[in-house]
Chain A
Amino acid sequence: MLFHTVKFFLFLAVVLTLFYGAPLSWRRVILLMASYYFYMSWNPVFILLLLTLTAVDYVAGIWIETNKKRGFLIVSLVANLGFLGFFKYYNFLSDNLAHLLRFPPHAFGLSIILPLGISFHTFQSMSYVMDVYRGEQKAIRNPIDYALFISFFPQLVAGPIVRARGFFGDLYHWKPPGTDEQLRGVLLVVLGLAKKVALADQFARISDSYFQNLAAHPGVAAAWSGAGAFALQIFFDFSGYTDMAIGMALLLGFHFPVNFRRPYLASSVTDFWRRWHMSLSRWLRDYLYIPLGGNRYGRLKTYRNLMLTMLLGGLWHGANWNFVIWGGFHGALLSLERIIGRDRFRGAPGALVYPFRAIFTFALVCVGWVFFRATSLADSLYVIREMFAGKAGWSGFLIPAWLLCFVGASLVIALGEEKSEWLERLAKGPGWAYAAVITVLLFSIELIGVTDKPVPFIYFQF
C-alpha cells in the first residue's frame, strides 16, 4: 500500500475516523492494528519477523533496565543485526564469497525477499535498546506501546527514524493536534504527494531513461542532466515521503523530527549531511561515529571514524558495492573538508561566495548519486567518464525546459524557506493563502503528476 495511492488515502481516512471516534484508551490499539494491517498489506508473512523483533527488543529493554547487564544488549543487537544481515546482506556476502572462491556467481545464493522497512525499524529498535542501556530511556513496560513505537505506520517503511524519547513523549502526553497542527499536517501530506507524483516521478522518467540505456545518451550534457535528474528525483521522492509521514503523524498527534532541510542549498558536503536524511545522520552520529571515538582521538582517527561511518551508512542503503563506494565517496569528501579546514565549512558563507559553493557542492553530490543510481560499477564509471570527458555540447541535455521551470520555482521557494520558513508558518497565516497553496499543489498533482501507474518510493527498497 503505497502512500500515493487512493487505497492508502482511504485507509488513512478510516484510521483517522476510528482514531478520533474511539475512546482515548482504545486509540493505541487502533493505531497498532492499523499499522499491522498496513504492514501486512504488503506481505502478511513478514509480520512474524516484525513481531519477533518487537518481542526480543521489548524483553531486552526490560531486562537491560532491571539487570544492567551488557549481555542482554548484545542479544538484542545480534537479533536485529542478524535478521537485517540475513535478509539484506546474505546474498551480497555469499556472492562475494563465491567470487573469491571462484564458484559460479550465485552458487551460495538464496531466494530472499527483503522485508519492507527492515533497515528502518531495526535501527529504531536498536536505538531504543541502546538508549535503555545508556540510561537515557526508561524501558517500556506496556507491550502495545512498544509495538506501536516500532510499527507506527507513517514511518514504518522509510522513516524518519524516530527516537524513543520523542515518540513516547508524544504517546504518554498525547494531546489532540491544534488547528495549526491540523492544517500543517494536511499541508505536508499534500506537499509530499505533490513532490512525489508531480516532480520525483517526472524526474524518474528522465533518470530511468538515461541510466537504463547509457549508450543511447552520450556526452557531457546527457551525463550531467541524467545524474541531476536522479538527484532531484531522489530528493523529491524521499522528502515527499517524509513530508507525508510527518504530516500524517501530526494529524494523529505525533511529532516527527525534520528529515530534510533543503539539502541542495548546502554550501559544503559537511553542510549537506546536516540537511539530508537527518534522522539517519543523527543515528549514525550517536550510535556509530561517537561510540567509535568521534573526533576525540586525533585527526587520523577522526578521518577513520568518518570513513567507517559513511561506508557503513552507504552499506545500510543496500547490499551492493556501489552503495559502499557512494558512502566512501562522501566519507572522503567529509574528511577532505576537515583536512582543508573545518571552520571554512562551518556557518553560512558570504553572499558572493555562497552560490558558487552551493553549485559546487550540488555537483559533487550529483557525482556521488551516480554510484547510488547506476546498476553496476562499470556503468557508474562510464557515467563519471562522460561527465568529465564526454562529448561537449548541449544537444544531449535531457531535462525539458518546463521541468526546469518547476525546479526554478522550487529553488525560489527553498531559498525563501531558508530565510523565513514561511511554508511552515503558512498554517498560521490567512486562510486564503493556505487555500491558494493547496490549490496550486493539487492542480500540479492533477496536471503533471504521474498518476497512471504509481511509482514506488525509492527508499521503500531499503
Chain B
Amino acid sequence: MRTVSVLLGSLFSFLSLQALVFNAGFYSAVLKPDSSTGTVEAFLRNEKRRKVENRNQVLAVGDSRNGFFPRYANELRPEIGYTFATISVAGTTPRCWYYMLREVDPTTRRYAAIIIPVEDYDDGEVWEDYANREADLHFVVSLLRLGDLLGFSRSFHDASRRWEVFRGALFKGLVYKQDFQDFLLHPIARVEFVNLSRTGSSDWFYDYVGPTRNMKGLGVDWSTGRITVPPGTTPEQKLEYERHFLPPLPPQRGRRSAYLRSWFEKIYERYRGSGTRLVFIRLPRGPIVRPDQPPFNPHSSVRELAMRPGVILSPEHCFDSLERPELFMDQVHLNGPGEAEYSRMLGREVRRLLGPPR
C-alpha cells in the first residue's frame, strides 16, 4: 500500500511540476524569443495585449508567404474603418493556425473577420506531406492542452510520428529540451533577450519593413526549361529557383485537400455562429507564375467551405497584379514594397468584402 501511494505521489509530483513549468507559463520567462515556439508565443502575447475598443478587428493568420503588415492597412483606417492585426508566423500551417486562433480568441467574439491565406483555391498538391509535419508540434506545443493530446497526435499520419507527437505534447520538456540546454549555456543573456523581446517585440513586428531586394531580371523559358536569374544571384539561390519553377507539379492525390479540409473545417466550426467571418484569399503566387497551375477543382476545401454562411472567398485573381519580379525578394516571398502594396490592397479588399464596419 505504501509503495503504491508513494509511487502515485511521485507521479503526481512530477506531473504537477510539469504543469507548473510548462502549462502555467513559467517556462515562457526563459523561452528563446526567436525560436519556433518563442515566435508564436510572442505574436500571441502581443496580440492578446493589444487594446481592442470594438469588434471591427481583422486578424490575419498565415505563414511567411503572407507578407501582410497591419501597419500599411491600418494607415487606411479612416477610409476602411477596420483595424488589422496579424499572427502570421513563418513556417506555421493551418493546423497551427487553429490552435493559435483558439489561444488568441478564446471567446470567438474578438474579431469581425479572420483572414486565411491559401496558395490556391484548388487544393493543389505539394510534395511535402503537411499532415505529417513534425515542426507543427514545436510551433504549438505551448498551446496544447491535455484534451488535445489524442486529437492532435492522431492528425499526423504514421504511427511513429504520432507517438513522437503524443509524447512531446504530454511531456513538453522533450520539445523544449534543446531550448532549455541553450538557455543553460548563456542564462543571463537569454533572460535579457527575453525581457527585451517582451517589451519591444510588439513594435519590432509592427514597424518591420521588408527587404528591398527584388527579382528583376528573372525569366523562365518554359519550352526549354532554362532559367535566367537576376544579377548577383548565387549558385545556391539559382538552384532554389530551378527547384521551385522547373520540376513538374506532384500528381493530385487528394492528400493536401484532405489536410486543408480537416483544419479549415475545424476553424470554421470554431467560429460558426460567432459573427466572425472567415475570409480566404489567394496569395500572390510568385514573381513569375508557372503555366502548369493546379486544375480547377470545384470541390476544393475552400470552395466548398465558401458555400457556408460566414465564409467569404475573395476573388481568385485579386492579387495577380502583384505577381511581378520587382515586388518579390525570392521565388515565393514578397519584398518590402510588395508587402506594403499587398497589405494596402488586402485592407481595401477586406473592407469591400465585409462591408462597412459596425
Binding site for B on A (CB under 8 A): 179, 182-183, 186, 400-402, 431-432, 434-436, 438-439, 442-443, 446-449, 451
Indicate if B43 sits at the interface (CB-CB under 8 A): no
- Shortest Cβ distance from A403 into B: residue: B184
Q: Are A443 and B7 in contact (CB under 8 A)?
A: no
Q: Per a CB cutoff under 8 Å, which of A186, A400, A431, A442 touches B5?
A: A431
Q: A179-B2, A179-B3, A431-B5 are in contact. List 9 more A-B contacts (CB 8 A).
A: A183-B3, A400-B185, A402-B184, A434-B9, A435-B12, A436-B13, A438-B14, A439-B10, A443-B17
Contact with A along B319-356 (1 / 0, CB 8 A): 00000000000000000000000000000000000000
**CB <8 Å contact, B174 and A435:** no
> Considering residues A435, A443, A449, which has the most beta carbons from chain B within 10 angstroms of its beta carbon?
A435
In contact, A442 and B9 (Cβ under 8 angstroms): no
Confirm or deny: B173 has a beta carbon within 8 angstroms of a beta carbon on chain A.
yes
Instruction: Determine how close the nearest CB of chain B comes to the CB of A285; give it in whole angstroms.
Output: 37
Q: Are A435 and B173 in contact (CB under 8 A)?
A: no
Q: Which residues of B contact A442 (CB under 8 A)?
A: 14
Q: Is B6 an interface residue (CB 8 A)?
A: yes
Please classify the interface of chain A as helix (H, G, I), strand (E, B), loop, or mixed, using the class held by over half of its residues: helix
Of the listed residues B6, B12, B174, the one surrounded by the most CB atoms of chain A closer than 10 A to its CB is: B6
B13 and A438: CB pair below 8 A?
A: yes
Contacts of A448 on B, CB cut-off 8 Å?
177, 180-181
A97 CB, nearest partner CB in chain B, Å: 46
A432 touches B184 (CB 8 A): no
Q: Are B184 and A439 in contact (CB under 8 A)?
A: no
B176: chain A residues at CB < 8 Å are 447
* Complex Cα–Cα for A436 and B6 (A): 10
Q: State whether B177 touches A431 (Cβ < 8 A).
A: no
- Residue pairs across A and B with Cβ atoms less than 8 A apart, 15 shown, are A182-B3, A183-B6, A183-B7, A400-B185, A402-B184, A431-B2, A431-B9, A434-B6, A438-B10, A443-B14, A443-B17, A446-B174, A447-B176, A447-B181, A449-B177
Neighbouring A residues of B5 by C-beta, 8 Å: 431
Asked if B130 is an interface residue, CB under 8 A from chain A, the answer is no
B171 in the interface (beta carbon within 8 A):
yes
- Chain B residues with CB below 8 A from A439, complex form: 10, 13-14, 17
The answer for the CA separation of A401 and B12 in the assembled complex, in Å, is: 31
Please determine whether A446 and B13 come into contact, CB atoms closer than 8 angstroms.
no
How far, in angstroms, from A402 to B190 measured CA to CA in the complex?
Answer: 14
Give the docked Cα–Cα distance between A346 and B13 (Å): 44
Across the interface, name the chain B residue whose C-beta is closest to A433. B6
In contact, B177 and A447 (Cβ under 8 angstroms): yes
B14 surroundings in chain A (CB, below 8 A)? 438-439, 442-443
List chain B residues, Cβ under 8 A from A432: 9
Interface residues of B in 97-123 (CB under 8 A from A): none
**How near does chain A come to B304, taking the closest CB pair, in angstroms?**
40
- With the chains together, A448 CA to B171 CA distance in Å? 13
- Measured between alpha carbons, how far is A451 from B176 in the docked complex, in Å? 12
Chain B residue total in the interface (Cβ 8 A): 21
Q: In the complex, how many angstroms separate the beta carbon of A429 from the nearest chain B beta carbon?
A: 10
Contact with A along B1-26 (1 / 0, CB 8 A): 01101110110111001100000000
- Considering only residues 1-60 of chain B, those with a C-beta below 8 Å from chain A are 2-3, 5-7, 9-10, 12-14, 17-18
* Distance of B328 from chain A, by nearest CB (Å): 37
Q: Which residues of B contact A179 (CB under 8 A)?
A: 2-3
Docked CA distance A438–B176 (Å): 20
Asked whether A402 and B3 contact (CB < 8 A) given A435-B9, A443-B14, A443-B173, the answer is no
The answer for the CA separation of A443 and B181 in the assembled complex, in Å, is 13
For B10, what are the chain A residues with a Cβ–Cβ distance below 8 Å? 434-435, 438-439
Across the interface, do A435 and B6 meet the contact criterion of CB distance under 8 Å? Answer: yes
CA separation between A347 and B10, bound complex, in Å?
39
Distance to closest chain A CB from B126 (angstroms): 27
Q: Are A402's CB and B181's CB within 8 A?
A: yes
Alpha-carbon distance between A314 and B290 when the two chains are bound, in angstroms? 67
Closest A-chain residue to B2, C-beta based?
A179
Those 10 A-B pairs whose CB atoms lie nearest each other, nearest first = A402-B184, A446-B173, A438-B10, A435-B10, A431-B6, A435-B13, A439-B13, A447-B173, A182-B3, A439-B14
- Taken together as a complex, chains A and B put the C-alpha atoms of A439 and B12 apart, in Å, by 9
Closest chain B residue to A434, Cβ basis: B6
Residue of B nearest to A448 (CB): B181
The docked-state distance in angstroms from the alpha carbon of A446 to that of B184 is 15
* Bound: A182/B5 CA distance, A: 12
User: How long is the Cα–Cα vector from A443 to B173 in the complex, in angstroms?
Assistant: 8
Docked complex: B160-189 residues within 8 A CB-CB of A:
171, 173-174, 176-177, 180-181, 184-185
Query: Which residues of chain A are within 8 angstroms of B184 by Cβ–Cβ distance?
Result: 400-402
Q: How far is the CA of A436 from the CA of B14 in the complex (A)?
A: 8
Q: Kindly list chain B residues whose C-beta atoms are within 8 Å of the C-beta of A449.
A: 177
Q: Which of B2, B13, B18, B174 has the most C-beta atoms of chain A within 10 angstroms of its own C-beta?
A: B13
Pairwise interchain contact A447-B180, C-beta atoms closer than 8 A: yes
1/0 contact string of B244-285 vs chain A (CB within 8 Å): 000000000000000000000000000000000000000000
Give min CB distance, B165 to chain A, whole Å: 13
The distance in angstroms between the C-alpha atoms of A447 and B180, with both chains bound, is 7
Which residue of chain A is the closest to B27 with respect to CB atoms?
A447
B7 touches A186 (CB 8 A): yes
Give the interface centre of B7, B10, B184 by most chain A CB atoms within 10 Å. B10
CA distance A118 to B195 in the complex (A): 56
Chain B residues near A435 (CB-CB < 8 A): 6, 9-10, 12-13
Chain B hits for A451, CB < 8 A = 174, 177
A304 to B287, CA, bound (A): 81
Collect the chain B residues with CB atoms within 8 Å of residue A402's CB. Answer: 181, 184-185
Instruction: Provide the residues of chain B in CB contact with A400, threshold 8 Å.
Output: 184-185
CB distance from B134 to the nearest CB of A (A): 11
